[in-house]
Amino acid sequence: EDQVTQSPEALRLQEGESSSLNCSYTVSGLRGLFWYRQDPGKGPEFLFTLYSAGEEKEKERLKATLTKKESFLHITAPKPEDSATYLCAVQYLGGGADGLTFGKGTHLIIQP
Amino acid sequence: EAGVTQFPSHSVIEKGQTVTLRCDPISGHDNLYWYRRVMGKEIKFLLHFVKESKQDESGMPNNRFLAERTGGTYSTLKVQPAELEDSGVYFCASSQARGFNRELFFGEGSRLTVL
Give chain B positions within 8 Å (CB) of A44: 43, 91, 93, 104, 106
Structural domains of chain A in order of their starting residue, each with its CATH number: 4-111 (2.60.40.10)
Read off the pLDDT band of A95 (50, 70, 90).
low
Of A43, A44, A99, the CB nearest to B45: A99
Query: Which whole-number Å values give the CA distances from A89 to A71, B7, B11, in the listed order?
Result: 10, 25, 27
Least confident residue range of A17-26, A29-38, B3-12, B100-109: B100-109
pLDDT of A94 > 90? The answer is: no
In angstroms, the separation between the Cα of residue B65 and the nearest Cα of chain A is 17
In sequence order, the 6+-apart residues with CB closer than 8 A to the CB of B89 are B36, B37, B109, B110, B111, B112
Extract the residue ranges of chain B whose pLDDT is less than 50.
Answer: none
Give chain A positions within 8 Å (CB) of B48: 97-99
pLDDT of residue B27: 92
- Which of A10-14, A87-91, B30-34: highest mean pLDDT? A10-14
CA pair distance B102, B104, nearest whole angstrom: 6
Q: Is A1 on the interface with B (CB under 8 A)?
A: no
Q: Do β-strands B110-114 and B10-13 pair in parallel, antiparallel, or remain unpaired?
A: parallel
Chain mean position to CA A31: 16
CA pair distance A15, A76, nearest whole angstrom: 10
The maximal CA–CA distance of chain B, rounded, in angstroms, is 41
Read off the pLDDT band of A19 (50, 70, 90).
very high
How many Cβ atoms from other residues are within 10 Å of residue A91's Cβ? 24
Exposure string over A10-24, b if 16+ CB within 10 A, otherwise e: ebebeeeeeeebebb
Helices (H) and strands (E) in chain B, counts: 0, 11
How many Cβ atoms from other residues are within 10 Å of residue B61's Cβ? 14
Nearest to B67 by CA among B38, B32, B28: B32
CATH 3.30.70.600 assigned to domain B5-114? The reply is: no
pLDDT of residue A28: 83
A43-79 residue pLDDT tens: 999 999 999 999 999 999 999 999 989 999 999 999 9
